[in-house]
Amino acid sequence: MMHARGFTLMELLTVIAILSILMAFALPALGTFRSDAAEKEAARGVLGALREARNLAISQNLEHQLAFDMDSKSYWLERGDKADNSTSWTRIRTFGGFSGEAGMAMGAECTKFTGDGDTASAENRIQFNPNGTCGSKGTASARYVCVLGQDGSKQFRTGIPSSITGRAVIQRWNGGWE
């Protein structure tokens, strides 16, 4: 006697219905995951650029700085003409900017949201000296760049907590900086 193997139509329809219900719950979470990924990518990009600027300042014995334009949500690397108090800055690399989903703010508490209306000049600069220390220049006078969510909420901040060490970090907002 032969035994039939396989699934009935009713069993297949039941499995498809269950998978459809699970996907309906999963899709909103995937949208959030994509948004979080863009914000995290923006923060990591700034971190890498800060580390590169510091390393170049030390290795070339010239001031280097990251310049941030809040209007275009972009940033670039500049090299000074001296080891201290540079009077001329040359753009040596453009990093692009944040994706359309992520917003940019400046300051330790992400309180500066608007630029000067000019997408060619930077509102804030984080500068590195040949000894590895750090300073900042610009209207924001901050060593932090904040990544905001689509709704304008704080997500990450990347920056230099101590100008003496010049060490760059990323912190996540969870009701406070972690």
Domain assignment present for residue 18? The answer is no
Domain assignment present for residue 40? The answer is yes
3-13 pLDDT, tens per residue?
667 778 888 88
Q: Report the pLDDT value the prediction gives residue 35, as an integer from 0 to 100.
A: 56
Mean pLDDT calculated for residue range 145-167 = 90
Single-letter amino acid code for the residue at 110: C
- Can you give the CATH number for the domain in which 156 is found? 3.55.40.10
C-beta separation of 136 from 121 below 8 A: no
Sheet containing 144-148, strands listed edge to edge, beginning at the edge strand earlier in sequence: 103-106, 144-148, 154-159, 169-172
Domain assignment present for residue 98? The answer is yes
Read off the pTM. 0.78
Domain assignment present for residue 16? The answer is no
Domain assignment present for residue 59? The answer is yes
> How much of the chain, in percent, has pLDDT values that exceed 90?
45
| Structural domain range at position 150 | 34-172
pLDDT band at 102; cut points 50, 70, 90: confident
Q: Which of 177, 142, 170 lies closest to 49, judged by CA?
A: 170
Domain assignment present for residue 154? The answer is yes
Runs of H (alpha helix) within the chain: 9-60
Ramachandran region, residue 61 (left: φ > 0; alpha: ψ -120 to 50; beta: rest):
left
Report the length, in residues, of the chain. Answer: 178
Give yes or no for residue 139 having a pLDDT over 80.
Answer: no
Q: For the chain, how big is the Rg over CA atoms in Å?
A: 23
Alpha carbon distance 83, 63 (integer Å): 5
Domain assignment present for residue 14? The answer is no
How many domains does the structure of the chain reveal? 1
59-71 pLDDT, tens per residue?
999 999 999 998 8
Domain assignment present for residue 96? The answer is yes
